[in-house]
């Protein structure tokens, strides 16, 4: 079970740049019944608006006991990814690019903005 507080963040307010990302990313992966019998690789890339890769986090995942699934049932795997120490070099648009087994699955965009001290979140 994965509990999310403050989900759906689209803006990172920071008092200075470079600064830490200071977020976690919650990912829910649906594994098709034809894919439950092997390990998979998740790659999360943080990209700047110019497409430059700033950081990447890799994780392997799999279905621990596929015998618990009903025939044809997808496995639901919640994965929390800690990204607090990842640097944001400057203001601007960023995105998380999610790839599974090297195939792009999703884009999660956000914008980083410089604010007055005390107004950051």
Q: What is the pLDDT of residues 14-58, one digit of tens each?
A: 999 999 998 888 899 999 998 998 999 999 999 999 999 999 999
pTM for this entry: 0.85
Per-residue model confidence (pLDDT) at position 112: 96
The CA-atom distances, in angstroms, between 87 and each of 17, 50, 84 are: 9, 16, 8
The CA-atom distances, in angstroms, between 90 and each of 46, 68, 69, 84 are: 13, 47, 45, 16
Name the CATH code of domain 11-114 (choices 2.20.180, 2.60.40, 1.20.120, 3.40.50).
2.60.40
Rounded to a whole number of angstroms, the CA Rg of the chain reads 17
């Amino acid at each position: 079970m994965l509990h999310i507080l403050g989900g759906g963040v689209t803006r990172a307010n920071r008092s200075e740049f470079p600064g830490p990302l200071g977020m976690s990313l919650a990912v829910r992966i649906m594994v098709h019944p034809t894919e439950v019998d092997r390990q998979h690789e998740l790659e999360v890339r943080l990209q700047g608006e110019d497409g430059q890769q700033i950081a990447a986090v890799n994780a392997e995942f799999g279905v621990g006991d596929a015998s618990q699934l009903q025939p044809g049932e997808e496995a639901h795997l919640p994965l929390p990814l800690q990204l607090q120490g990842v640097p944001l070099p400057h203001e601007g648009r960023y995105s998380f690019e999610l790839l599974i087994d090297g195939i792009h699955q999703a884009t999660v965009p956000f914008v980083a903005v410089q604010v007055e001290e005390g107004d950051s979140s």
